[in-house]
Amino acid sequence: SASGAVIVLTRTGEGKKGFSLFMLEKGLPGFSVGGRAKTMAHRHVDVTELNFDTVVLSDAELIGGVPGDGLQQMLDAIETGRIAMGATAVGLARSALKSAIDYAAARQSFGQAIGQHQAIQGLLADMGAKTLAARTLVQEAAAVKARGGRADMVAGMAKLFAGEVCAEVALNCVRIHGGSGYVSDFPAERYYREAPYFVLVEGSNEIQKTIIARRLLAGDGQAIGL
């Protein structure tokens, strides 16, 4: 609702070459934008409805100037978006991990920092290892994309794994904070609200698993060293 224009993928022909991308500006006859939805977190993200009522498009709105390139353009953007989403998820996981480490070092229980307790150490170790693994996978996906290679599978892996790690690390951050993790005086509760976003957007994690499995079954295992 805040943007002056939106990009829409629409069918303009038959088959895979029958899709085109158009940029629609507000004020185009028949096109309108609904009200902004309230979300539990990531309130900088504009979630709204797009309404179309007999919208007539022309070459002036066509992106790229060539009809039929829309699907490939969109898939390329989705790959980049999934890598970026994985990177953002890693960023949140790192913040949650740092918050958990700081709290575990400062909070005293039975005369010592709770970080000295084996149960807390186990959580922190898992959080650290998985956050680093997610970061490494995202960097690999970005490198493949930058080289111009096919990145749909590795981008899906990066988004899938980083999103799941982010959700797990955010939950464990709340656990380490205990009751303090449930109140807004500490950042743990915000991390916990924000983490599910990365499991859902840019294609759900269930969709990522389908994409990954199909590419592996098609013989693309060399992308991961098979």
3-state DSSP call for residue 169?
Answer: helix
* Domain spans of the chain, in order of start: 5-52, 70-224
Q: What pLDDT sits at residue 46?
A: 80
Euclidean distance between CA atoms 223 and 14, whole angstroms: 32
Residue linked to tokens 């170790």 = 125
Catalytic residue among 25, 164, 202, 206, which?
202
Domain 70-224 of CATH type 1.20.140.10: yes
pLDDT at 1: 58
pLDDT confidence of residue 143: 97
Contact (Cβ atoms closer than 8 angstroms) between residue 198 and residue 85: yes
Neighbour tally for 18: CB within 10 Å: 14
Check the CA dihedral 185-186-187-193 and report its sign: negative
What pLDDT, on a 0 to 100 scale, did the predictor assign at position 84? Answer: 98
Mean pLDDT by 10 residues, the chain (226 residues): 84 92 93 86 83 92 92 94 98 99 96 97 99 98 94 96 98 97 95 96 93 94 81
**Residues forming beta bridges with residue 33, ordered by sequence position:** 50
| pTM exceeds 0.85, yes or no | yes
Q: Are residues 90 and 137 in contact, defined by beta-carbon separation less than 8 angstroms?
A: no
> Is residue 194 flagged as an active site residue?
no
